[in-house]
Amino acid sequence: MGKKVIMLGNEAIARGAYEAGVKVSSAYPGTPSTEISEYLVQYKDDVYEEWAPNEKVAAEVAVGASIAGVRAMACMKHVGLNVASDPLYSVSYMGVNGGLVLVVADDPGLYSSQNEQDTRMVARAAQIPVIEPSDSAEAKDFFKTAFELSEKFDRPFIFRTTTRLAHSQGLVELQEREEPEDKPYEKNIQKNVMMPGNAKIRHIEIEKRNLELAEAANTLPINRVEMNDTKIGVITSGIPYQYVKEAMPEASVLKLGMVNPLPRKLIEDFASKVDTLYIVEELDPVIEEQVKSWGIKAIGKEILTVQGEYSANMLRKAILKQDLDIKKPAEAPGRPPILCPGCPHRSVFYVLNRLKMHAAGDIGCYTLGAVAPLSVIDTTMCMGSSISTLHGMEKAKGKDYIKNWVAVIGDSTFLHTGVNSLMNMVYNHATGTVIILDNSTTAMTGHQDHAATGKTLQGDPAYAISIPGICRAMGVKNVHEINAFDLPLLEKTIREETAKDEVSVIITKTPCVLLDKRKKPLYAAHADKCKKCGMCMKPGCPAMTKNADGTIHIDDTMCTGCGLCKDLCKFDAIELVKEGE
Amino acid sequence: MAVKNIMIVGVGGQGTLLTSRILGGLTIAGGYDVKLSEVHGMAQRGGSVVTFVRYGDKVAEPIVEEGQADVIIAFERLEALRYAHFLKKDGVLIVNDWRIDPMPVVIGNAEYPEHILENLEKEYKVYRVDATEESRKLGNPKVFNLIVLGVAAQHMDFTKEQWYEVIEKTVPPKTIEINKKAFDVGYGMK
């Protein structure tokens, strides 16, 4: 027996990668997948890993390592797989040399995402096998299984998690690292060069491999029947398995560890032994539709939702028809996420709001600039889209139409996929203004480095790619770097640049407030000088509240001393009371 | 032992993740099966956050459901109100008597409810803790959550020594002493 420790699902995957003998990992941060790469750093003597600028690059790096003959992986969130879907569909034809696994984290309930898509659907379309664990222990052990199957069946695998799995902790038993021998590289253009003649043959080949895998799935230990009372039978996988065990421990369960391809014989056999068959899966009816297409009677999305997370109580109500005595939640005002006190984005959004500008937004903390009181962002869709969306508006309505518009995008997001969009603007005679909110990190996912921070994933020094340099090299003539808290200069520059009939890039370069660990300055408000004008409240700083008499209070546990409120106060009612470091 | 259900609720950035790490370490030291569920990502930016901790002989789901919590540890009053209905009949609610206005209140689109604790006391067993004020007395307002944990510890299944041991292993080395002191303050409160 190995040592038992408590691990986050993502930590267990990192451990599984280490134990499986993985040698190369590449990733782009995305909640809820980010921590896998961060936990993997502790094994850096054995596993090379890196932050890639986006998921397509990460997946291709992993494919290259697999072709070279080692076990390789890439990590991303569900929408990251969309970016990586170009290599995904073709590596499916190529297969692997060293085992290849993409970890893809779905987000039922949308804790930190722009949509609720189901990776299993993408995997089916790309004919990629999918393994799904139900807790931290399985996250580690199944991850090793994924590599074994990947090599045995010459298929790249997707390892699917969800937020609840990724961010739950449970007990894991540690084992030693396996050291599988590197596979020899043999030049094989029929397998590795996807031109039409080769791909046609590979398509036939992978159809065959998938059938073999589907057959093998009937006896794989990770697909497990737990026969119990036969009145209710449930087919389930992943975290919903835990809800089933919690709500109906007496039911019979077919627990699928591999959700694509499905073990048809095992399912038919299980279905024949139970009175009523239920299929419990979060998001889309992926298992359900296949099972029903085989003429098996089952109940699924008729009584269970395609949205959000499930729970044991949900199953008690829907399947067991139990009348639960549950109190109603109290009426309470919501507490949506907000920009932190001292966030440099707040200052930029305040100026845009004052200038009555609209912004095409992007993915990052700054998406929060869409909500009151800043209310600047009009659109947010996917990584890198702000710049191209603005360009599309200009081409639809002409250059004057976007004089009161800008695109806003973060530094990491710009490097991810914004670069291509800016290239398009320069090439196609655009006149729009792009603001790059450069806070020197990938903030929303918990402060990961990227190609422009000067540090690798391991924290070692690296060449820092210059964002203004990229913009100039692409032919943008108007490139400005400004401190995000320099309100007058910011306002003047935005006015001037949006008025021009040329592409402009304004880079607001101020590090994320959470990155700077030094003691911060502190401001306090003086009630006797306060005229209750409300100017200082306009940027919506969470450290500021109104007293009963309408004067202002600054919470000393929250204030980080950015000074934005002080700059806005015309009556000197806000004063520095403590110097920072 | 039947599964015990604990919740930690608060505002993103108040240290709910550190607290859940401490509880996780503790339940392992006690030899239980354990599952914890946390919130990372966007909600950590000042949103309402909840952590679930479940321990006992065998734990299946990692979340605590409505009507099942034995103990709720709330770092802020409004968050106590939001999650109080998760308590089971004889469950206890430990609340840091502290107010953080959510943005809809700050900008005047909603009102912060009055008399939250008085109303909760009518329905639930509530322990009020003036942890933010008490932690100021210790010279570091950030350790308020250890004071609240100290109060909660009196309603859980672990010895003071087990708590100390896990605190020492979990908090940054420089802050071990102040965190233990803060825990003591809470542990001494009735």
Could you write out the DSSP letters of every residue in A285-316?
-HHHHHHHHTT---BSTTTS-SSS---HHHHH
For each of chain A's 581 residues, which pLDDT tens digit applies? 688 999 999 999 999 999 999 999 999 999 999 999 999 999 999 999 999 999 999 999 999 999 999 999 999 999 999 999 999 999 999 999 999 999 999 999 999 999 999 999 999 999 999 999 999 999 999 999 999 999 999 999 999 999 999 999 999 999 999 999 999 999 999 999 999 999 999 999 999 999 999 999 999 999 999 999 999 999 999 999 999 999 999 999 999 999 999 999 999 999 999 999 999 999 999 999 999 999 999 999 999 999 999 999 999 999 999 999 899 999 999 999 999 999 999 999 999 999 999 999 999 999 999 999 999 999 999 999 999 999 999 999 999 999 999 999 999 999 999 999 999 999 999 999 999 999 999 999 999 999 999 999 999 999 999 999 999 999 999 999 999 999 999 999 999 999 999 999 999 999 999 998 889 999 999 999 999 999 999 999 999 998 989 999 999 888 999 999 999 999 999 999 999 98
**Residues of chain B found within 8 Å of residue A325, distances taken between Cβ atoms:** 67
Q: How many CB atoms lie within 10 A of CB A404?
A: 12
CA A511 to CA A489: how far, in whole Å? 18
In this prediction, residue A319 carries a pLDDT of: 98
Please identify, among A168, A186, A217, the residue that sits at the C-terminal boundary of a domain.
Answer: A217
pLDDT confidence tier of residue B27, bands split at 50, 70 and 90:
confident
> Is pLDDT of B40 > 80?
no
The answer on A228 and A204 residing in a single domain is no
Domain presence at residue A164: yes
Using CB atoms, which residue from B11, B59, B113 is nearest to A332?
B113
Find chain B residues with C-beta within 8 A of A311's C-beta.
Answer: 61, 63, 65
Distance in Å, alpha carbon of B164 to nearest chain A alpha carbon? 18
ipTM of the complex in this document: 0.94
Which of A97, A138, A110, A364 is closest to A242 using CA atoms? A138
Is B47 at the interface with chain A, CB within 8 A? yes
The rounded Cα B84 to chain-centroid distance in angstroms is: 12
pLDDT of B166 reads: 94
- Percentage of chain B exceeding pLDDT 70: 98
Chain A: residue nearest B81 by CA? A330
Residue A339, in any domain of the structure: no
Nearest to B104 among A32, A169, A334 (CB): A334
In a domain, B108, yes or no: no
Q: Is residue B178 part of a domain?
A: yes
Does residue B137 sit within a domain? yes
> A506: helix, coil or strand?
strand
Same domain, A9 and A112: yes
Helix (H) or strand (E) holding A435: strand A433-438
Give pLDDT, residue B108: 87
Helix (H, G, I), strand (E, B) or coil at A405: strand
Whole-angstrom distance, CA of residue B16 vs CA of residue B51: 7
How many A×B Cβ pairs under 8 Å?
170
The CATH number assigned to the domain holding B129 equals 3.40.920.10
Interface check for A64 against chain B (CB to CB < 8 A): the answer is no
The domain in which residue B62 lies consists of 4-100+116-187
Pick from A509, A536, A564: which residue ends a domain? A509
CB contact A371 to B (< 8 Å): yes
Q: Say whether both A449 and A550 belong to one domain.
A: no
What pLDDT shows up at residue A396? 98
Query: Can you give the pLDDT at residue A25?
Result: 98
A9 and A152: one domain? yes
Same domain, A349 and A303: no
DSSP H or E stretch at residue A94: helix A85-94
Q: Total structural domains in chain A?
A: 4
The pLDDT of residue A524 is: 97
Number of folded domains in chain B? Answer: 1
User: Which residue, A198, A217, A236, sits at the end of a domain?
Assistant: A217
Confidence of residue B42 (pLDDT cuts 50, 70, 90): low
In a domain, B111, yes or no: no
**Cα distance between residue A392 and residue A385, in whole Å:** 10
Q: Is residue B106 part of a domain?
A: no
- How far, rounded to the nearest angstrom, does the alpha carbon of residue B160 sit from its chain's CA centroid? 17
Mean pLDDT of B23-40: 88
Residue B43: the pLDDT is 66
Q: Are B57 and A187 in contact (CB under 8 A)?
A: no
Query: CA A218, CA A354: separation in Å to the nearest integer?
Result: 63
Q: Which residue of A has its CA nearest to B12?
A: A337
Most A-contacting residue of B106, B114, B115, B117 (CB-CB within 10 A), to test interface? B106
* Residue B188 contacts A where some CB pair is shorter than 8 Å: no
The enclosing domain of A495 has a CATH number of: 3.40.50.970
Rounded CA-CA distance A331/A333 in Å is 7
Rounded to an integer, what distance in angstroms lies between the CA atom of residue A144 and that of residue A16?
6
CATH number of the domain encompassing residue A278: 3.40.50.920
User: What range defines the domain where residue A197 resides?
Assistant: 4-217
Question: Among all residues of chain A, which has the CA nearest to that of B142?
Answer: A557
Looking at residue A165, its pLDDT comes to 98
Q: Which residues of A513-540 are buried (b: 16+ CB within 10 A; e: fewer)?
A: bbeeeeebbbbebeeeebeeeebbbbbb
The answer to whether residue B182 scores a pLDDT higher than 70 is: yes
Residues 6+ apart with CB under 8 A from A416: A28, A53, A54, A83, A383, A384
Q: Do B78 and A545 touch (CB under 8 A)?
A: no
